[in-house]
Amino acid sequence: MSTERQLRVLESSTEDDFMATAIKVAFTTTNMTEVDQHFGSAESVAIYAVDMDHAKLVEATEFGKLKQDGNEDKLAAKIAVLEGCVAVYTNAAGASAVNQLKTAGVQAVKVTAGATIKELIEALQDELRAGPSAWLARAIEQQTPRDNSRFEEMEAEGWEE
C-alpha cells in the first residue's frame, strides 16, 4: 500500500523560528476537521506543527479506502508519513500498530469519534503552556538535539583526581 496523494506546505523564511520549536502531531481524518478514523484503516492523515501559541497544517496525505482487516502491510506507509511526529490522534489503533508507532517514536493518542482537530490542538497548546504530561515531555526531549559541547568544555578544563 502506498500513498495516493500527498500535500506538503513549504516553510517561508519568516516561519523558521516557529518550525524549529514546534512539535508535529498527526490526526487520522477524512474531512480535515475531526478525528474520525481508526489508524490502520485511516483514509488520510493531517499533520500539524504546534507550539504554545500557533498551529499550522504542514502536510496532508491520502491513502484511499482501506479495511480493518488485520493486514499489517498497510501500516508501514502510514508510519513512514508520521516521521518527525510526536503523536498521532486517532479513534483506535491495534496492538501491533501501537507497538510499531512506539518503535518509530510516535505516541498513539486515542480520542472519541468526532473530536475536532481544532479542539485537540487547543488542548495540546494548553498542556504545553501548563507543563507537558510525561509522554509529551519525553517526546519533546527526544526531538531536542543534545548539546554535547558541554563535554568538550569539561575536557578543556582538565581532570584532576
User: What is the SS3 assignment for 5-28?
Assistant: EEEECCCCHHHHHHHHHCEEEEEE
pLDDT at 155: 72
pLDDT at 20: 75
* Per-residue pLDDT tens digits for 111-126: 998 899 999 999 999 9
* Per-residue pLDDT tens digits for 56-90: 999 999 987 755 555 556 788 899 999 999 999 99
This prediction's pTM: 0.79
Beta strands (DSSP E) in the chain are 5-8, 23-28, 34-35, 44-50, 55-62, 85-90, 107-110, 115-116
Rounded Cα–Cα distance for residues 104 and 87 (Å): 10
- Which residue ranges form the domains of the chain, and what is each CATH number? 5-157 (3.30.420.130)
* Per-residue pLDDT tens digits for 87-107: 999 999 999 999 999 999 999
pLDDT at 68: 55
Give the torsion sign (CA, 139, 31, 77, 60): negative
